[in-house]
A and B are shown apart, each in its own frame.
Chain A
């Protein structure tokens, strides 16, 4: 449709010119006249917008932002309200200048203040004390056409605006945010205006990048023929919020999507972040999003297009398909997703024994010193029977309820004395974060010797080698000789580093500890001893399941243990099977990828050790920080004078106590 109109207009133009100009050769004069007229139109358009363009100069500030040298030269802004509001590219203030100066088109120089930053469109609103400024006429969005003339105007080089002539290359770029133009866009005109040939402002010139965000992202494309502008009408839509001095942030729902290919397949929710707007709206893992903000979705990329223009604080409607049913809800987007942090009371419960039925609730085996429980005066032997009025059946119920609280929250526990039949007393406790320490003074839980014969006489005890049925994998294990199935044992799953199963040294390091602390050591061998492959996570999972069938294993104390390059498979397996693994203890093994969200229903604790002379020491420290940023409980151990090797006995001992205390609540 468009080409037809174009052609018709050209025809009309040629006809008009032919009639109007008395020259011999119509085609030739039409051509040169048209060029002259176009040039005239460019100049007129620039002249129309010039009274709305200001020059911005900054004083002070950082030399570099994200490795990019920040400029010191003047930049451009566009008047957006008569009472002194000026919009510009956030790039121009990336250096966080001490002072901003604006030169108005009439030559007045005024100090300016930053009012607010729009982190979605990468624009900054500034204000000067002036009245009767002249905002430009915005071009309506429905007038934007790919192929139309577009002039990029800046105010940095001279008193009159600089002009670069191009066309509109595309619309709705960078997830629906920007007009793309082949006019030259660079620090010379960032913050300036992209103008149509009628002198209406289509947009504000900004550097943008489809991959990165931040003030300087996209600068590497300057003058390349790929330039971007945020539609001025969109700027006006957000202006009232910006004027209030509030920075605007991208709106987040709190979901991650399944699948790597954003152009293929219905967008399906992979994870819903705990406490996020999505969770509050009742979205669930596996929900297929069929409609967002009134737009039908069939692939993930469309979801990004809708979200690309959404600010935090805005509401959005969402329709998901769960099974055959459709659910609609409305959620309010947030700017930040707070990582979930589980709370902690500071007790170890008495573990259930199959020979002695436990009383309802959680009997306290040990109160960790200086913990909230200790401060509240709870004592060993007491039994917690109610949590905020809810009856507790088992210690697991207490753990689940405490994990769903946040540190700092006050809860009321009903406690009965160790002996006696008095009514429960109510204790108020202020919960805290799980401390990054191991309660080293914790003594092993008493375990009575085995009295009966084992039901399965063939059950292997001590140090033995086996082969996994169903898998082509071998393993070796150590089960205490006095194994008593009346008790629950902790399970340490050892993943050897590439090329060395370390069988002899591991047995030496762990045998006594297993006997003392009631632990079983399960050492799995990679299919190729030379190293683990990512798909072996399933083998590890199946091996643990197999062991749980044979032996009495405490589900709250199943941990993975890795050294060096087996860390990668250990982290991967722990995060993949969070329902199975409650802890991960690594030696000299940094995280291979950023950790996923912490989740209250699957509490996962970490113990990261590394030698201070190990080249990986700093990377491990970085991993500790990464995990703590996501609010995982992490114990960090530094091995003094330690190189890249398996740690000495005192560290192994600490790991064993840490495993023993994993069921702390």
Chain B
């Protein structure tokens, strides 16, 4: 507690530029951009007192390893720029896989203003990752083996070419914030329209802007933590999410690509993602008519002698969890049942009155291979 109370206040006399950065907010397009040390000029006259790893030195070091990428886009409001970072002295650079890379080659602008042609080496859509190559040797780069994991609450810096405010030899923009959370990008499929569903850092600064994708998240002393992702809307909350993918998730594939050993996986089709193998009626559950966008999955009736009846499910029970995942509507219940396979155990948690009742049902092999989907539910797939 002692520690906490002294930490209440900021030190005015040191670290002027980055400490006060939090107050210089620029509201633009509903997003607050916090720009710190936006020009090299502000950094160069740093006194020798800061010779150690103060954020200013870290920012200078990181900025030299981050590049601006200009490519396809510009139509239908799509931005034609993004960010990347160098990962080898020979000019390999990492960025997000996006429409900016739709051309076979893109223009890469280094921190010192050098313009180079960037060629796509390979990409992995499952990780939202692409590796590009520019001609070079002895370029400044991040050693991915030095990357670290950051705990929740850790202060971080975010570097990116957001809104392409950095022109020519200007370094990219830097924001500061803290790691707000470490979480899965989507606890449930469909929350985010992105193929990447792995762990992410959520940042409390507005890091994910047009052009930010492929930027870097570092600790305050400039150690690499993650790659800033695309602009994504969280469909569960209808809000934009600011996130970065931990380097640990990307390192192996980046290494494979650079060494030429990477083999892209075949993409899974939509049909495979949304099968309809089982329906509620297969277990003897009759649901209430699905009339609303979010009709709660109330049990309307139970067929005698069915698995549901044997498990003790009763009419008016509300199905709340399917295999430990909250379901919020009849539609989500149907989707979850559709993904079951013979041999699985269907674990349900029901709300009965004011108590929660867990039940388990065996998923038996269906006798008719053709899946019959009752007509009441077939119209709901177009949502």
Whether B7 and A38, one on each chain, are in contact in the complex, defined by CB atoms closer than 8 angstroms, is: yes
Of the candidate stretches A163-171, A263-271, A304-312, A365-373, the one touching chain B is: A163-171
Of the candidate stretches B46-54, B130-138, B140-148, B277-285, the one touching chain A is: B46-54
Known: A44-B3, A223-B206. A188 touches B320 (CB 8 A): no
Looking at the assembled complex, report how far the CB atom of A63 sits from the nearest CB atom of chain B, in whole angstroms: 4
Looking at the assembled complex, report how far the CB atom of A94 sits from the nearest CB atom of chain B, in whole angstroms: 12
Q: Is A351 an interface residue (CB 8 A)?
A: no
In B48-74, which residues have CB < 8 Å from any A CB?
49-54
Taking beta carbons and an 8 Å cutoff, which residues of B are in contact with A? 1, 3-15, 22, 25, 27, 30-32, 49-54, 151-155, 177-183, 191, 202, 204-206, 220, 234, 236-240, 242, 292-297, 318, 320, 326-329, 349, 351, 354-356
Whether A187 and B152, one on each chain, are in contact in the complex, defined by CB atoms closer than 8 angstroms, is: no
Return the chain A residue nearest B53 by Cβ.
Answer: A32
Return the chain B residue nearest A103 by Cβ.
Answer: B326
Bits for A528-569, please: 1 = Cβ < 8 Å to B, else 0.
000000000000000000000000000000000000000000
15 A-B pairs whose Cβ atoms sit less than 8 Å apart in the complex: A9-B8, A25-B52, A37-B6, A43-B153, A57-B328, A74-B326, A110-B356, A149-B7, A157-B183, A161-B152, A162-B202, A184-B205, A184-B206, A223-B239, A225-B27
Looking at the assembled complex, report how far the CB atom of B288 sits from the nearest CB atom of chain A, in whole angstroms: 11
Q: Is the interface of B mostly helix, strand, loop or mixed?
A: loop
Q: Across the interface, which residues of A come within 8 angstroms of B234, CB to CB? A: 73
Whether B204 and A164, one on each chain, are in contact in the complex, defined by CB atoms closer than 8 angstroms, is: yes
Q: Is A90 an interface residue (CB 8 A)?
A: no
- Distance in angstroms between the alpha carbons of A162 and B203 in the assembled complex: 9
Return the chain A residue nearest B30 by Cβ.
Answer: A224
Known: A31-B54, A38-B7, A224-B30. A72 touches B178 (CB 8 A): no
Whether A42 and B202, one on each chain, are in contact in the complex, defined by CB atoms closer than 8 angstroms, is: no
Q: Across the interface, which residues of A come within 8 angstroms of B294, CB to CB? A: 59-63, 72, 95
Return the chain B residue nearest A64 by Cβ.
Answer: B293
Q: Across the interface, which residues of A come within 8 angstroms of B238, CB to CB? A: 68-71, 187
A160 contact from B152, B296, B355, Cβ within 8 A:
B152
Known: A71-B238, A72-B328. A165 touches B204 (CB 8 A): yes
Known: A101-B320, A157-B180. A60 touches B237 (CB 8 A): no
Q: Across the interface, which residues of A come within 8 angstroms of B52, CB to CB? A: 25, 28, 32
Whether B180 and A164, one on each chain, are in contact in the complex, defined by CB atoms closer than 8 angstroms, is: yes
Whether B6 and A164, one on each chain, are in contact in the complex, defined by CB atoms closer than 8 angstroms, is: no
Whether B5 and A165, one on each chain, are in contact in the complex, defined by CB atoms closer than 8 angstroms, is: no
Whether B239 and A37, one on each chain, are in contact in the complex, defined by CB atoms closer than 8 angstroms, is: no
Q: Across the interface, which residues of A come within 8 angstroms of B3, CB to CB? A: 37, 40-41, 44
Bits for A172-189, please: 1 = Cβ < 8 Å to B, else 0.
000000000011101110
- Distance in angstroms between the alpha carbons of A526 and B3 in the assembled complex: 77
Q: Is A45 an interface residue (CB 8 A)?
A: yes
Taking beta carbons and an 8 Å cutoff, which residues of A are in contact with B? 6-7, 9-10, 12-14, 16, 25, 27-28, 30-32, 34-35, 37-46, 57-63, 68-74, 95, 98-99, 101, 109-111, 113, 129, 148-149, 152, 156-158, 160-167, 182-184, 186-188, 197-199, 220, 222-225
Q: Across the interface, which residues of A come within 8 angstroms of B5, CB to CB? A: 197-198
Whether B1 and A198, one on each chain, are in contact in the complex, defined by CB atoms closer than 8 angstroms, is: yes
Whether A28 and B49, one on each chain, are in contact in the complex, defined by CB atoms closer than 8 angstroms, is: yes
A197 contact from B4, B152, B205, B329, Cβ within 8 A:
B4
Looking at the assembled complex, report how far the CB atom of A565 sits from the nearest CB atom of chain B, in whole angstroms: 39
Return the chain B residue nearest A196 by Cβ.
Answer: B8
Whether A39 and B4, one on each chain, are in contact in the complex, defined by CB atoms closer than 8 angstroms, is: no
Whether B237 and A9, one on each chain, are in contact in the complex, defined by CB atoms closer than 8 angstroms, is: no
Return the chain B residue nearest A128 by Cβ.
Answer: B354
- Distance in angstroms between the alpha carbons of A109 and B325 in the assembled complex: 12
Whether A98 and B154, one on each chain, are in contact in the complex, defined by CB atoms closer than 8 angstroms, is: no
Q: Across the interface, which residues of A come within 8 angstroms of B9, CB to CB? A: 6, 9-10, 13
- Distance in angstroms between the alpha carbons of A70 and B191 in the assembled complex: 14
- Distance in angstroms between the alpha carbons of A181 and B177 in the assembled complex: 15
Q: Which one of A13, A46, A74, A188 has the highest number of Cβ atoms from chain B below 10 Å of its Cβ?
A: A188
Q: How many residue-residue contacts, CB under 8 A, span A and B?
A: 201
Whether A59 and B54, one on each chain, are in contact in the complex, defined by CB atoms closer than 8 angstroms, is: no
Whether B6 and A73, one on each chain, are in contact in the complex, defined by CB atoms closer than 8 angstroms, is: no
Looking at the assembled complex, report how far the CB atom of B9 sits from the nearest CB atom of chain A, in whole angstroms: 5
Whether B202 and A113, one on each chain, are in contact in the complex, defined by CB atoms closer than 8 angstroms, is: no
Whether B6 and A42, one on each chain, are in contact in the complex, defined by CB atoms closer than 8 angstroms, is: no
- Distance in angstroms between the alpha carbons of A63 and B331 in the assembled complex: 14
Q: Across the interface, which residues of A come within 8 angstroms of B292, CB to CB? A: 60, 63
Q: Is the interface of A mostly helix, strand, loop or mixed?
A: mixed
Q: Across the interface, which residues of A come within 8 angstroms of B356, CB to CB? A: 109-111
Q: Which one of A32, A113, A182 has the highest number of Cβ atoms from chain B below 10 Å of its Cβ?
A: A32
Looking at the assembled complex, report how far the CB atom of A282 sits from the nearest CB atom of chain B, in whole angstroms: 48
Q: Across the interface, which residues of A come within 8 angstroms of B25, CB to CB? A: 182, 225
A199 contact from B4, B31, B326, Cβ within 8 A:
B4
A73 contact from B8, B15, B154, B236, Cβ within 8 A:
B236
Return the chain B residue nearest A153 by Cβ.
Answer: B180
Whether A101 and B318, one on each chain, are in contact in the complex, defined by CB atoms closer than 8 angstroms, is: no
Q: Across the interface, which residues of B come within 8 angstroms of A34, CB to CB? A: 7, 11
Return the chain B residue nearest A9 by Cβ.
Answer: B9
Whether A30 and B14, one on each chain, are in contact in the complex, defined by CB atoms closer than 8 angstroms, is: yes
- Distance in angstroms between the alpha carbons of A184 and B354 in the assembled complex: 35
Whether B296 and A157, one on each chain, are in contact in the complex, defined by CB atoms closer than 8 angstroms, is: no
A186 contact from B151, B191, B239, B326, Cβ within 8 A:
B239
Looking at the assembled complex, report how far the CB atom of B242 sits from the nearest CB atom of chain A, in whole angstroms: 8
Q: Across the interface, which residues of B come within 8 angstroms of A74, CB to CB? A: 236, 326
Looking at the assembled complex, report how far the CB atom of B37 sits from the nearest CB atom of chain A, in whole angstroms: 16
Q: Across the interface, which residues of B come within 8 angstroms of A184, CB to CB? A: 180, 204-206
Q: Which one of B237, B329, B355 has the highest number of Cβ atoms from chain A below 10 Å of its Cβ?
A: B237
A149 contact from B8, B54, B295, B329, Cβ within 8 A:
B8
Whether B296 and A57, one on each chain, are in contact in the complex, defined by CB atoms closer than 8 angstroms, is: no
* Extra inter-chain contacts (6) besides given A163-B152, A166-B22, A197-B5, CB under 8 Å: A35-B15, A60-B294, A111-B355, A182-B25, A184-B206, A186-B239
Whether A165 and B7, one on each chain, are in contact in the complex, defined by CB atoms closer than 8 angstroms, is: no
Return the chain A residue nearest B327 by Cβ.
Answer: A59
Q: Which one of B14, B180, B183, B327 has the highest number of Cβ atoms from chain A below 10 Å of its Cβ?
A: B180
Return the chain A residue nearest B202 by Cβ.
Answer: A157
Whether A31 and B180, one on each chain, are in contact in the complex, defined by CB atoms closer than 8 angstroms, is: no
Q: Across the interface, which residues of A come within 8 angstroms of B32, CB to CB? A: 223-225
Looking at the assembled complex, report how far the CB atom of B4 sits from the nearest CB atom of chain A, in whole angstroms: 4
Known: A160-B181, A163-B153, A222-B239. A60 touches B329 (CB 8 A): yes
Whether A43 and B151, one on each chain, are in contact in the complex, defined by CB atoms closer than 8 angstroms, is: yes
- Distance in angstroms between the alpha carbons of A41 and B295 in the assembled complex: 44
